[in-house]
Amino acid sequence: MDLRDIHTPVLLERCLELLAPALEVPGAVFVDATLGMGGHSEAFLERFPGLRLVGLDRDLDALRIAGERLAPFGDRVELVHTVYDGIEAALESVGVDAVHGILFDLGVSSLQLDEVDRGFAYSRDSPLDMRMDQSTGVTAADVVATFSEGQLRRIFERYGEEKLAGRYARAIVAARAEGPIERSGQLVDILTRATPYAAQRTGHPAKRVFQALRIEVNAELAALDAAIPAALDQLRVGGRMVVLSYQSLEDRLVKRVFADAVASTSPPGLPVELPDHAARFRLLVRGAEQADADEKARNPRATPVRLRAVERVREAAA
């Protein structure tokens, strides 16, 4: 099946619009920090004929698929196997010292959700894996098997914002005493049985727990906390960055880093701005933009998206 039939890039036209002023210059370099199946990248390469792409992804399957999809663009494309907090080293490895545009499309990809054996989707029974990079690291089954009740409760609270975190942690510990929990279907059954009937009517019992396990397994927030400032440092003056977030923890982190980036560091009370303390970036959108109703209807995965964007307006002080 054509990838265009199974993967619709979220807020594609808005991303192109926001990044266009930075990417229309000769020799522009664009970083897709979350390459996935290459949908956004393909559109950027088509729209800007002189553009050079550096695509990053930790998922080897995604890199393979995107590599096939982007092969027609030849040497305009460089793909690097890395987590996005490795952006500086990735750019150095392909001989790039500064870039004109960066896109982060965060969260779990269409590929990871749709591949049953990856274990990301609570709606299908599969091995409880959830690693974005299946070549390394612990699985969700490892976390469920080895974390204490207190550790499980904390990650469900912190990464899933789950009100029933304690109840779910106790249920998991009790269930694993009877036998290993190795499949997503087993975990869904445990969580469902532990959920009061009234709470089951407000959403799927597994949704927030699966989110929390995925974030823990892939150290997503720690990587993002390092990646956003590192990516800002790679932008040239006039360069722009767009971030698409799909849950509140990601969006709050991006909002905080952007707020720091656009703030002046001049001491309060001065009659004029000190040039070396002026903001290095400016916001390109007010608050966080969402997909419109039409896009949400066409592409349900756009429903939770929050878009934020900034532009670099000056170099850092020496």
Higher pLDDT, 124 or 51: 51
Query: Cα–Cα distance between 207 and 215 in angstroms, integer?
Result: 13
Question: Taking Cα atoms as reference points, which of 113, 54, 111 lies closest to residue 78?
Answer: 54
Query: Cα–Cα distance between 73 and 45 in angstroms, integer?
Result: 8
* CATH placement of domain 3-105+220-312: 3.40.50.150
Torsion-angle region of 261 (φ positive above 0: left; ψ -120 to 50: alpha; else: beta)? alpha
| 40 annotated to bind ligand | yes
Query: Cα–Cα distance between 280 and 129 in angstroms, integer?
Result: 41
**In the beta sheet, which residues pair with residue 283?**
310
Q: Which residues lie below 8 Å from residue 180, measured CB to CB, with a gap of 6+?
A: 141, 145
Higher pLDDT, 209 or 198: 209
3-state SS string over 162-213?
CCCHHHHHHHHHHHHCCCCCCEHHHHHHHHHHHCCHHHHCCCCCCHHHHHHH
Higher pLDDT, 148 or 6: 148
Query: What end-to-end distance do the CA atoms of the chain give, in Å?
Result: 52
| 81 annotated to bind ligand | no
pTM more than 0.85:
yes
The reply to whether 3-105+220-312 and 116-218 are identical in fold is: no
| 38 annotated to bind ligand | yes
Mean pLDDT of 15-36: 97
H-only helix segments in 7-59: 12-23, 39-47
Mean pLDDT of 198-223: 89
pLDDT in tens, 248-263: 999 999 999 999 999 9
| 84 annotated to bind ligand | yes
Encode burial over 167-205: b for 16+ CB neighbours within 10 A, e otherwise: bbbebbbebbeeeebbbbebbbbbbeebbeeeeeeeeeb
What percent of the chain has a predicted confidence (pLDDT) above 90? 78
Question: Taking Cα atoms as reference points, which of 57, 50, 170 lies closest to residue 108?
Answer: 57
Does 1 have pLDDT greater than 50?
A: no
pLDDT in tens, 139-177: 999 999 999 999 999 999 999 999 999 999 999 999 999
Q: At what angle do helices 220-234 and 248-261 cross, to 10 degrees?
A: 30
The CA distances from residue 288 to 229, 254, 282, in Å, are 18, 10, 14
The answer to which of 83-97, 107-121, 159-173, 287-301 has the lowest mean pLDDT is 107-121
Helix (H, G, I), strand (E, B) or coil at 26: coil
Query: Cα–Cα distance between 302 and 293 in angstroms, integer?
Result: 10
Does 115 have pLDDT greater than 70?
A: no
Q: How confident is the model at residue 271 (pLDDT cuts 50, 70, 90)?
A: low
| 112 annotated to bind ligand | yes
Does 4 have pLDDT greater than 60?
A: no
| CATH superfamily of domain region 116-218 | Putative methyltransferase TM0872, insert domain (1.10.150.170)
The arrangement of strands across the sheet holding 29-32 comes to 77-81, 52-57, 29-32, 99-105, 235-245, 306-312, 281-283
What are the domain boundaries of the chain? Answer: 3-105+220-312, 116-218
